[in-house]
């Protein structure tokens, strides 16, 4: 998968792209009305690996005209990345289905 087209492919979860920047993960298409932003607040050691422990998850609007504070629709803190992805996927699916 190290070909020329590999650079343009995103890792996906339930059919939507995942983009990571440091301890922040964005889930969803940036051209949709909403995306999920996940921040790893703390990590713990499991063997030699650092694993996400406390994770903040937010449903945010992609409306460029909205004030930054008004872009946050829902937020929560979860234990572990899986729980954050699980709730984030539900929030995003519901928000996007309400806009159709």
**Digit-coded pLDDT (tens) for 43-67:** 999 999 989 999 999 999 999 999 9
What's the whole-model pTM score? 0.84
**pLDDT score at 42:** 93
Q: Please state the domain extents for the chain.
A: 17-98
- Residue 84 and residue 87: Cα distance in Å, rounded? 5
Distance CA 73, CA 13 (A): 21
Per the CB < 8 A criterion, the answer to whether 72 and 58 are in contact is yes
Mean pLDDT of 34-39: 96
């Amino acid at each position: 998968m190290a070909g020329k087209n590999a650079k343009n492919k995103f890792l996906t979860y339930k059919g939507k792209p995942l983009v990571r920047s440091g301890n922040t993960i964005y889930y969803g298409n940036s051209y949709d009305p909403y995306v999920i932003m996940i921040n790893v607040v703390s990590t713990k050691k499991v063997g030699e690996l650092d694993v996400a422990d406390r994770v903040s998850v937010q449903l945010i609007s992609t409306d460029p005209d909205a004030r930054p504070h008004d872009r946050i629709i829902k937020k929560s803190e979860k234990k572990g990345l899986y729980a954050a992805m699980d709730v984030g996927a539900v929030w995003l699916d519901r928000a996007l289905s309400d806009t159709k």
